[in-house]
Amino acid sequence: IVVTQSPDSLAVSLGERATINCKSSQSLLYSANNKYYLAWYQQKPGQPPKLLISWASNRESGVPDRFIGSGSGTDFTLTISSLQAEDMAVYYCQQYFSSVSTFGQGTKLEIK
């Protein structure tokens, strides 16, 4: 499964909304449990990735509610509703639907 993110980089002003898209080459819906096998991670320089969102829209414990995952089928979105300075990072989507997991190429989020 090929996962493609857009854009590759994004500059947003503090307090504004940031939107990152993720498209998979096939549906990530597992019909037996009606769940989308898609996660979002945040990676800051010199740190390992941090899981933000699982199952396309489930925010992990401790993740601020300004991070919102949405989407269905093959198209997914990570929205940061009001950008904070600490949100500067690279964001990755990951499909874990297939036995060989794959990541998008990453989106670098910068402050305008």
Partner 1 sequence: EVQLVESGGVVVQPGGSLRLSCAASGFNFDEYTIHWLRQAPGRGLEWVSLISWDGRTTNYAGSVKGRFTVSRDNRKNSVYLQMNSLSNEDTALYYCAKNMDSRNDGDRPLDYWGQGTLVTVSS
Q: Is 22 in the site for partner 1 (CB under 8 A)?
A: no
Residue 109 touching partner 1 (CB under 8 A): no
DSSP string, 33-68: TTEE-EEEEEE-TTS--EEEEETTTEEPTT--TTEE
Tokens 């980089």 appear where? 9
Please state, in angstroms and rounded to a whole number, the distance separating the CA atoms of residues 104 and 94: 6
Residue 36 binds partner 1, judged by CB under 8 A: no
Based on the shown chain and the rule CB under 8 A, indicate whether residue 103 belongs to the binding site for partner 1.
Answer: yes
In three-state secondary structure terms, 14 is coil
Stretch of 11-19, 42-50, 71-79, 80-88 lying at the interface with partner 1 (CB under 8 A): 42-50
Residues numbered 52 to 71 that lie near partner 1 (CB under 8 A) are 54-55, 60
The site that binds partner 1 (CB under 8 A) totals a number of residues, namely: 24
Compute the radius of gyration of the chain from its Cα atoms.
Answer: 13
| Minimum CB–partner distance for residue 13 and partner 1 (Å) | 26
Is-contact 43 92, C-beta < 8 A?
A: yes
Q: Which residues in this chain contact partner 1 in the complex, by CB under 8 A?
A: 37, 39, 41, 43, 48-51, 54-55, 60, 90, 92, 94, 96-97, 99-106
